[in-house]
Amino acid sequence: MFRKQPQKRLSRQACARVIGPAVEVRAFNDGGDWLDAVREQEVVIVPDGVNHTSNGDTLKMNAGAAKQVIAEFEDQGVDVVVDYEHASVDAKTGEKAPASGWIRKLRYEAGKGLIALIRWTAEAAELIATGAYRYVSPAGLVEKASKLFVDLHSVALTNKPAIKNFPALVG
């Protein structure tokens, strides 16, 4: 069972050390507590360029692929789930696949990749802040011929991302 730990107050600099360099804190105010510091973050979900996976596959991200993913996201008009360990991909009809967060916006930045603004649940924010979870992993469609990542199904909070050398959420 999840037990809430006593809330601690950290400075902006201390929060940056806890969260690590892979993310940018967007929802921090100087009067907030440590949990507020990780509730909403911009996170690279598909790194730019050629990405190799642990199972030998390759996937690519570039401006054109990102434009397609972002257009589909905006057309759907709903936030995309961030689950735990790809539960929403593997869940059978009727099984629960709780969210660890929700993707509220997507953008692309050359040299970085597809970036999601994620609003974490309180439980996930605590798990990230304490280092219990360190990575995200995207799930979506990759075109066979081009290897471009062209459709986002979901993202998982995980400790074993398939993409090699993926940046950690927590240092």
Is residue 2 in some structural domain?
A: no
72 vs 57: CA distance, rounded Å: 24
Which secondary structure element, helix H or strand E, spans residue 13, and what is its range?
helix 12-19
Please give the tally of structural domains in the chain. 1
DSSP β-bridge partners for residue 83: 99, 156
33 vs 24: CA distance, rounded Å: 17
Q: Residue 19: its pLDDT value, please? A: 35
Domain of 101 in residue numbering reads as 12-158
Is residue 170 in some structural domain?
A: no
Is residue 123 in some structural domain?
A: yes
| 157 neighbors 97 (Cβ within 8 angstroms) | no
Is residue 6 in some structural domain?
A: no
pTM of the predicted model as reported, rounded to 2 decimal places: 0.78
Q: Residue 91: its pLDDT value, please? A: 76
Q: Residue 37: its pLDDT value, please? A: 52
Is residue 149 in some structural domain?
A: yes
Query: What does pLDDT average to in each consecutive run of 10 residues of the chain (171 residues)?
Result: 35 35 38 58 96 96 98 97 93 84 98 97 93 96 96 96 92 69
Q: Residue 23: its pLDDT value, please? A: 37
Q: Residues with Cβ < 8 Å from 75, sequence gap 6 or more?
A: none
Q: Residue 148: its pLDDT value, please? A: 97
Is residue 1 in some structural domain?
A: no
Is residue 165 in some structural domain?
A: no
- DSSP for 102-135, please give it: EEEEEEEETTTEEEEEEEE-HHHHHHHHTTS--E
Q: Residue 17: its pLDDT value, please? A: 33
Is residue 171 in some structural domain?
A: no
Q: Residue 170: its pLDDT value, please? A: 76
Q: Residue 39: its pLDDT value, please? A: 85
